[in-house]
């Protein structure tokens, strides 16, 4: 199996996209630590995975990624249990435009924290064995999503941070590849979270047009692209992929060479 003997850690793994990422990792032979703030859902997910893949292939650690203490503790517990770490997916995320500081704490700070914890363990200069970090942003990490401006900011932060730390990893020889996935709409509970939001009423049409052009994905669609990226060592470090119902492709960003010479 492609990931036989590999150890992975997925945040927000109890449901939705994170659960689908965990499932495809298990299907391909990896051992997976599931981290999630929802204890019941996390324990149910591991029980189901034990049934399907055999006991001992997955473990649940209750953890709020916005807490340094909880994340570090869950990280240490799971990597000690399985012996090291090869793959991490910082997936946990929320939409909360009213408690926007919480949204930033989870969506951006949580991803930064997970990336730094992984690099501490994985990077070659620390005696690590290298590995792959996949951070989950969103199409809202590439352009403004008017119904969710704070969510947009947090996801733009994930893209920018991931691209910068990937460049550092290349220059400093960490031996760690960092990629970003930017899905469009995916049928999960987060997608439903704004349906009842009165703020959306006035912007529903705009959101509807996006839905129309991009379609709506299933979590398993994102998982298939995720697996391809994890397995493809030729994937560009810092590569950012857009995923919609029409397919997936790398986004090309402007470079220093694109900056016009001062003409004003």
Ligand X SMILES: NC(=O)C1=CN([C@@H]2O[C@H](COP(=O)(O)OP(=O)(O)OC[C@H]3O[C@@H](n4cnc5c(N)ncnc54)[C@H](O)[C@@H]3O)[C@@H](O)[C@H]2O)C=CC1
Ligand Y SMILES: CC/C=C\C[C@H](O)[C@H](O)/C=C/C=C/C=C\C=C\C(=O)C/C=C\CCC(=O)O
Q: Which of 246, 243, 245 has its CA nearest to residue 226? A: 243
* Shorter beta-carbon distance to ligand X: residue 61 or 119: 61
Minimum distance from CB of 234 to ligand X (Å)?
Answer: 25
Q: Which of 43, 23, 26 has its CA nearest to residue 82? A: 26
Does position 181 interact with ligand Y (CB under 6 A)? The reply is no
Does position 94 interact with ligand Y (CB under 6 A)? The reply is no
* Shorter beta-carbon distance to ligand X: residue 14 or 132: 14
Does position 100 interact with ligand Y (CB under 6 A)? The reply is no
What gap in Å lies between CA 175 and CA 49, rounded to an integer? 31
Does position 140 interact with ligand Y (CB under 6 A)? The reply is yes
Residue 136 interacts with which of ligand X, ligand Y, none, CB < 5 to 8 Å by class: ligand X
Does position 207 interact with ligand Y (CB under 6 A)? The reply is yes
Tokens of 223: 């998982």
Site string for ligand Y, 150-169 (x = CB under 6 A): -x------------------
49, 82, 151, 174: the catalytic one is 151
* Dihedral angle of Cα 66, 68, 72, 75, to the nearest 10 degrees: 10
* Shorter beta-carbon distance to ligand Y: residue 45 or 139: 139
174 is catalytic: no
Does position 144 interact with ligand Y (CB under 6 A)? The reply is yes
Residue 194 interacts with which of ligand Y, ligand X, none, CB < 5 to 8 Å by class: ligand Y
Catalytic residues: 151
């Amino acid at each position: 199996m492609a990931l036989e003997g590999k150890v992975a850690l997925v945040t927000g793994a109890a449901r939705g996209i994170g659960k689908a990422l965990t499932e495809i990792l298990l299907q391909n032979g990896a051992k997976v630590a599931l981290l999630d703030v929802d204890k019941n859902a996390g324990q149910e997910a591991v029980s189901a995975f034990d049934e399907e893949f055999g006991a001992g292939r997955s473990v649940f650690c209750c953890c709020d990624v916005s807490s340094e203490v909880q994340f570090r503790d869950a990280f240490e517990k799971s990597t000690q249990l399985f012996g090291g770490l090869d793959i991490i997916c910082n997936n946990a995320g929320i939409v909360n435009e009213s408690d926007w500081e919480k949204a930033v704490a989870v969506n951006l700070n949580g991803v930064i924290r997970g990336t730094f914890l992984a690099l501490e363990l994985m990077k070659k200069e620390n005696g690590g064995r290298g590995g792959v970090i996949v951070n989950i942003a969103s199409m809202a990490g590439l352009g403004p999503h008017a119904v969710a401006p704070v969510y947009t900011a947090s996801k733009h932060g994930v893209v920018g941070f991931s691209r910068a730390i990937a460049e550092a990893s290349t220059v400093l020889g960490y031996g760690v590849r960092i990629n970003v996935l930017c899905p469009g709409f995916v049928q999960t509970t987060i997608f439903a979270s704004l349906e009842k939001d009165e703020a959306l009423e006035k912007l529903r049409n705009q959101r509807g047009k996006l839905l129309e052009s991009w379609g709506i994905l299933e979590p398993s669609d994102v998982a298939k692209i995720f697996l391809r990226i994890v397995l493809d060592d030729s994937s560009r470090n810092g590569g950012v992929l857009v995923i919609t119902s029409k397919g997936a492709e790398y986004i090309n960003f402007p470079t220093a060479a694109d900056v016009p010479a001062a003409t004003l």
